[in-house]
Structure 1
Amino acid sequence: MKRSEKYMRCEMKAAVFTGKHQLEIREMPCVEPKEDEVLIRVRFCGVCGTDVHIYEGDKGSAEVDGETILGHELSGEVVRTGKSVTRIRTGDRVAADPNDYCGTCYYCTNGMKHLCNRMVGLGTAADGGFAQYLTVPERLVYKIPDSVSYEQAAMIEPISCCLHGIDLTDIRPGNTVMVVGAGNIGMIMIQLAKSAGAARVIAVDPVEVRLARAKEYGAEIVINPTKDDTEEVLGKNNVECVDRVIDCAGRVSTAEYAVRYAGKGAVVMLFGLTGPDDVAGIKPFELFKKELTVKASFVNPDTFARSIFLLEKGIVDVDKIITDIVPLEDIGMVFDTKLYSKNGKVLINCE
């Protein structure tokens, strides 16, 4: 395990990933925070697609080396601070940005720290939040307002990733925005697109329950691509141009769909994660003919504080997105039964 040799006098339970399809609940000593770290009693930690990919043994944006405590979407209470910690106090309600950067590589020194060659991520390269306690460097810790619950605060990290994607998508007031994939991330994207000035949001998903929820979150038009003719729906709703398309599903078919229905001069954001060996059948001539800009988005540079603000002010509502809260001891069931794919967001209660 990635633990220091010096421990606090307390024990904790943690869900340890030991290999493909293997999670073990273990009791172990709490970790003593280093001088620049705080010890967080984790309240809730969200199950992310990255956790699922690791559990399934898929290669992707994050891989682990050896036994690791997964989980990076966490909230909790600070119970101890290191000697050099000054900004955070014991008792503070907090959330943690899971991505730590070296600060010295080419990317860090050229305004692209999120592409750092030596980035360390909680729940991947370092132990994460599927545990009762976790040490985190103070620089990654953010206080959360009293008006934001611990459950809501566990959604700050995914909101921050979505916000980076929205920034890159460059939505202009009055734009028509299509969101492909109306899952948890899609619901956040719909709200962020509206807050960025989108005049109309189109939600695309093959699951009717998700489309109904997309309407609740502000989508004016919904399309079930397994039943509806997309061109026909767009025509009936007088959609002359889809200005921005955000693919949240992360599949070859949805990437191709996004390019196909993007209007002339549009921006296509490939936000969802495909497999590293997936190849999409996109015609370069189509990009040329429509003068498309195709972008992708990776993690969450400098968007954590803004995400807290959006939650606090009610600009982003996550209450309907969170559908299942599961005790830490039952985390294996979440992965074995694929609960994360059946309803909405699954949070692990680590208390």
Structure 2
Amino acid sequence: MHGEGVRGGWKLGATAVRPLPPLRVHGGFGSGAGSAPRRNSMRGVVLKGYRQVEVRTFPDPVPGPDEVVIQTRVAAICGSDLHFYRDTPENLGPRTEMVVGHEPSGVVVAVGSCVRNVRVGDRVTVYHHMGCGTCAHCLAGDIMLCEQHVGIAAVGRGADADYVCVPERNCLRLPDELSFVDGAFIACIAGTAYSALLKLAPSGRDTLAILGLGPVGLVAGMMARAFGARVVGFELVAERLDLARRIGLDYVFDAGEVDPVAVARDLTGGRGADGALETSGSPVAQVQAVRLVRKRGKVVFAGAGREEPCIAPWWIMQREVTLMGTFVMPIHLYEDLVRFILRHRLDFEQVVTHRFSIEDAAEAFRLADSGRTGKVLFVWE
């Protein structure tokens, strides 16, 4: 889930971390079937609560039989990471001792004895939901809907570290044409945006409204234009409005100065937008998204916000509007997404505004939390 706007003062509830098998750690790589020489400890970013960040030293991870260790080259801060950044130590619980982050890309440096499809030296991105492998959703290939609902950071395999250890099935090879920055985007927000747009199915006949132009909204805008849609973006923050104009959205409006519902109707001859994607999590924007689409229009919600109800059923019923949620992209769409990125030559670098060393994690999170950036990255040379 993503909440990228600055409209609300919502708060994340208590975090429940389910007891899964712990990450194996060791002072080296001796138990892996294949490995590359490296040091015996790594740095990782830990969120302590109340916006406090620490960079700690952790033992090197050692791959289990079906696991892979990746040397991180790029890792990105997600809007969902900021929920934990703002939360209390009490709510965070065990997470205050775990590496944060779930958007890595890098190079494989060690593999377990049973790994067959990934080799040392492969360039990879990571599918960041683990999955139990046995529930109905996992068996159907929808790992992101697993009953245990656990991402890599929740079980001590966070991405904001020199190395990350994940199951082989979570490693997705990057084509040579894609960069490590592309890989970090694919790990979460590019997949989220793509999956959301597939639900809306935009085409050259459609006008699509995007409410919230943080990183997810910006990437969705790029993709929607590649699908052929006319894209209308709404945002409150000047820096993000400028980014949206630079990446080429058809129309960009300050939502604090215009009525998005009226704008959408003006641009469509009074009919309303064909679809809307809400990424900010703001209750105001959620209401506007429903009201600005046409009869039998579609709305997808991708932003995490308040839990209080804000949408009146009558607005949906009388116009037969379809509302959908979207979460993490299903893993089986990975190859399709890669082909889409390559075919349309999407340049995610346009969305990146800040790069940091992992040692400067506190400043990186402070900037990302301001809501006035594009994508904020950790990079390793």
Q: Which amino acid aligns with 1:3?
A: L
* Structure-2 residue corresponding to 1:237: 267
Once residues 78 and 203 of structure 2 are traced to their aligned partners in structure 1, the CA distance between those partners, rounded to angstroms, is 29
Aligned AA for 2:77?
V
Secondary structure in 2 matching 1:320: helix
For 2:346, what is the secondary structure of its paired residue? coil
Tell which deviates more after alignment, 317-326 or 211-220: 211-220
Instruction: Give the corresponding residue for 1:299.
Output: 328
Judge conservation of contact 1:130–1:350 (CA < 8 Å) in 2. no
Q: Matched residues in 2 for 1:29 and 1:176: separation?
A: 51
> What is the CA deviation profile of residues 206-254 of structure 1, one whole-angstrom value per residue up to 9, with x for unaligned ones?
2344334323333222222211244554455344331101001111111
- Provide the rounded CA distance (Å) in 2 between the counterparts of 1:184 and 1:230: 20
Q: CA deviation at 1:99?
A: 0.9
Residue number in structure 1 paired with 2:23: 3
Does structure 1 residue 286 correspond to structure 2 residue 315?
yes
Superposed displacement of residue 149, structure 1: 1.7
- The aligned amino acid for 1:144 is L
1:122-152 Cα shifts (integer Å, max 9, x gaps): 1223321111011111111011122222122
Question: Is it true that 1:27 corresponds to 2:57 in the alignment?
Answer: yes
Aligned to 2:191: 160
- TM-score w.r.t. the length of structure 1 is 0.90
Structure 1 residue 169 corresponds to structure 2 residue 189 = no
Runs of 4+ in 1 over 4 A off after TM superposition: 62-66, 337-340
Identity %: 28
**Distance (Å, rounded) in 2 between the aligned partners of 1:309 and 1:80:** 28
SS at match of 1:223: strand
| Offset of residue 32 of structure 1 | 1.0
Hey, what's the Cα distance between the residues in 2 that align with 1:247 and 1:63? 30
> For residues 309 and 193 of structure 2, what CA distance do their matches in structure 1 show?
23
TM-score, with normalisation over the residues of structure 2?
0.83
The 8 Å contact of residues 2 and 126 in structure 1, kept in 2 or not, is answered as yes
- SS of equivalent residue, structure 1 residue 300: coil
Determine the structure 1 residue equivalent to 2:246. Answer: 216
The Cα shift of 1:50 comes to 1.2
Provide the C-alpha distance between the structure 1 equivalents of 2:367 and 2:219, rounded to a whole number of angstroms: 25
CA 1:340/1:35 → structure 2, altered by over 3 Å: closer, same or farther?
farther
> Which range is displaced more, 90-99 or 108-117?
108-117
Distance 2:88 2:318 in 1: 36
Structure with a larger share of its residues in helix: 2
CA–CA separation in structure 2 for the residues paired with 1:267 and 1:134: 38
Q: 1:205, 1:83 → 2: CA distance? A: 50
Distance between the aligned counterparts of 2:277 and 2:109, measured in 1? 40
Show the 5 A alignment for 1:1-351. 2-8=22-28, 10-57=40-87, 65=95, 67-110=97-140, 112-157=142-187, 158-198=189-229, 200-230=230-260, 233-234=263-264, 236-239=266-269, 240-275=271-306, 278-301=307-330, 302-338=332-368, 341-350=371-380
Provide Cα deviations, 1:157-216, integer angstroms capped at 9, x if missing partner.
Answer: 210111111122233441111011112111111122223332x11111123443343233
For residues 19-55 of structure 1, the C-alpha deviation after alignment (integer angstroms, 9 at most, x for no partner) is 4433321222211111111111111100001111011
Report the Cα distance in structure 1 between the residues aligned to 2:75 and 2:375, rounded to whole angstroms: 11
Alpha-carbon distance between aligned partners in 1 of 2:336 and 2:319, rounded to the nearest angstrom: 33
* Structure 1 pair 234–123 and aligned structure 2 pair: CA distance change class (3 A): same
How big is the alpha-carbon RMSD for the aligned residues of Structure 1 and Structure 2? 2.4
* Counterparts of 2:185 and 2:58, CA distance in 1: 27
The residue type paired with residue 84 of structure 2 is I
SS for the counterpart of 1:153 is helix
Structure 1 unaligned residues grouped into runs of 5+: none
Unaligned runs of 5+ residues in structure 2 are 1-20, 30-39
